[in-house]
Amino acid sequence: MRLDYPIHERTLDNGLRVVVSPDHTVPTVAVNLWVDVGSRHESRGRTGFAHLFEHLMFQGSRNVASGEHFSALLAVGARLNATTWFDRTNYFETVPTGALDLALWLEADRHGHLLDAVNQANLDNQRDVVKEEKRQRYDNPPYGQELPDLYAALFPEGHPYAHPTIGSMADLDAATLEDVHAFYERWYGPRNTVLTLCGDVEAEDAFERVERQFGSLSSRPRPGHPIPVALAPLTEPVRLTRRADVPHDRLTIAFRLPADRTPGFLPAALALDILGGLATSRVVRRLVRGSQQALSVHSTAWGLVGGVSIGFLAIDVANGEDPDRVEAAVLSEVEDLAHAGPTSEEMQAVRAQSERGWLQALAHQDQRADLISHHTLLHDDPHAVNTHLEEVLAVTPEQIQAATTTLLRPEQRAVVAYLRAPHGAEEES
């Protein structure tokens, strides 16, 4: 089904690509910037830098004091933040309509003139904050190393996706002010950025307001990006076992999928849903409801642009059950899907759930703006918010079967086994 959110585009003389999607249902505007730099662009010895840098974007710029970006926008009723991912860094705020110019001015100041304000004290402070973020999200919680382990198992050492965005403590320690300057000058500029406005503003008016604040930012050539090299699926299984003080065993069975928006990615994502992403998925029926050897299962498919994407099934194993037997049962379900393809009931369920998921993702201006920026920056397709669902619904059972056969074979898997061990007996192998 085709949706009809309005999309207007313009590129400023300095190269900034601007997309506007008017929506007057609520008196707010979502301001959303995607910068084409993420952890995949980091160099050896500087993992975690794109994210640390994102923190510094809140510590002042030429005309804005440290912390003022947050305080000035909160004081007018904005909700704001920024995140860093493998492929990009995004900055966003949803503001009452009357504060749109202020939001654009604040963004233009830091996206154009950050280095005037960066100093050692800010870098040191935010390095400490990021280390606490790492401890809170990765080092202290149960299963905190699941994803870093998965990236390390799935990709060769040194591959752009082999390390998590949070980086390592040693690399965070190594970051210098010179790194900050070089990173900003290389990656932050109008030609490497997309700005989306979604909300209570008309297109022409929005373009004028953006021109007023961003038009004077100096134009620099678009930086050279690493050329994506397609990474083929694994040819033999990889296994990483971690014994830790966790409440139950968890298996994460991961596969290299094709790059986002290349043939095979969507069918593989839907195959993973049919296996583990629905309340009626095959692994749920067999292992969660049926034999009750597993507590739960979920599926994930992250579309990435660097020549390969990530798909996985995560299965929590019931205590007392043998994780090897659970893994074998999961693999036999994958083989069954490869052998006979999805049923018509499964196609109906996965399509209906995809529809609700996509419509809910578009329900709020801020997420809609984020999806527009995403597809504009990484896929040169601002209209994807209107066409993506049609593409999902057009995927055939034959394509899903083919993707399962070619991309989800047992020898193509990387498994992270997070197994229970008494405290003090932690180890990695």
Partner 1 sequence: MSDRPGVEPPGPWLQPLPTEETLSNGVRLLRMHLPGQQVISARLMVPVTLADEERVHEGVSVMMARLLDEGAGDLDAEAFAAALERHGAALGASAVEGGLSVDLDVPVRHLSGALRLMADAVGRPTFPEDEVRRVLRNRLAEIDYETASAPHRAGRELIATLWDPASRAARPAAGTPSTIGALTRSAIVERHAALAAAGGALVIAGDLQGIDVREAVEGSVGEWTGSGTAAAEPAAALPRLDGHTVVVVDRPGSVQSELAIGAPAPGRADPSWAAYPVMAYLLGGSPGARIDAVLREDKGYTYGIRAAMRPRALGGSFAVTGSVRTEVTAEALDLLRGILADTVKGFSRAELATGVDFITRATPGRWATADVIADELSALTLERLPMDFPSLTLRAMRRLAPDQVTEAAAAVASSVCSTVIVGDADAIIDDVRALGIGEVHVVTD
Measured from the CB atom, the residue of 385 and 407 that comes closer to partner 1 is 385
Least distance (Å) from partner 1 to the CB of residue 291? 11
Q: Which of 127, 76, 69 is nearest to 97 (CA)?
A: 76
* Gap between the Cα atoms of 398 and 388, Å rounded: 19
Least distance (Å) from partner 1 to the CB of residue 55? 10
* Gap between the Cα atoms of 299 and 276, Å rounded: 5
Least distance (Å) from partner 1 to the CB of residue 400? 16
Strand order in the sheet with 250-257: 294-302, 309-317, 250-257, 413-420, 238-244, 427-428
Measured from the CB atom, the residue of 76 and 182 that comes closer to partner 1 is 76
Burial of 279 (0-12, 13-18, 19+ CB in 10 A): exposed
Least distance (Å) from partner 1 to the CB of residue 245? 7
Least distance (Å) from partner 1 to the CB of residue 78? 7
Least distance (Å) from partner 1 to the CB of residue 278? 6
Measured from the CB atom, the residue of 321 and 405 that comes closer to partner 1 is 321
Measured from the CB atom, the residue of 96 and 228 that comes closer to partner 1 is 96
**H/E stretch holding 317:** strand 309-317
Burial of 418 (0-12, 13-18, 19+ CB in 10 A): buried
* Gap between the Cα atoms of 31 and 95, Å rounded: 8
β-sheet bridge partners, residue 30:
94, 198
Least distance (Å) from partner 1 to the CB of residue 259? 28
Phi-psi domain of 286 (left: phi exceeds 0; alpha: psi -120 through 50; beta: other): alpha
Q: Which of 156, 155, 154, 240 is nearest to 418 (CA)?
A: 240
The torsion angles phi and psi of 25, rounded to 5 degrees, stand at -70, -25
Measured from the CB atom, the residue of 74 and 229 that comes closer to partner 1 is 74
Dump the DSSP string for 118-173.
--HHHHHHHHHHHHHHHIIIIISSTTTTHHHHHHHHHS-TT-TTSS-TT--HHHHH
Least distance (Å) from partner 1 to the CB of residue 57? 13
Measured from the CB atom, the residue of 124 and 427 that comes closer to partner 1 is 124
Measured from the CB atom, the residue of 74 and 182 that comes closer to partner 1 is 74
In angstroms, the Cα distances linking 306 to 168, 215, 228, 262, 322 are 21, 31, 5, 11, 36
Chain centroid, CA 104 distance in Å: 24
Measured from the CB atom, the residue of 202 and 380 that comes closer to partner 1 is 202
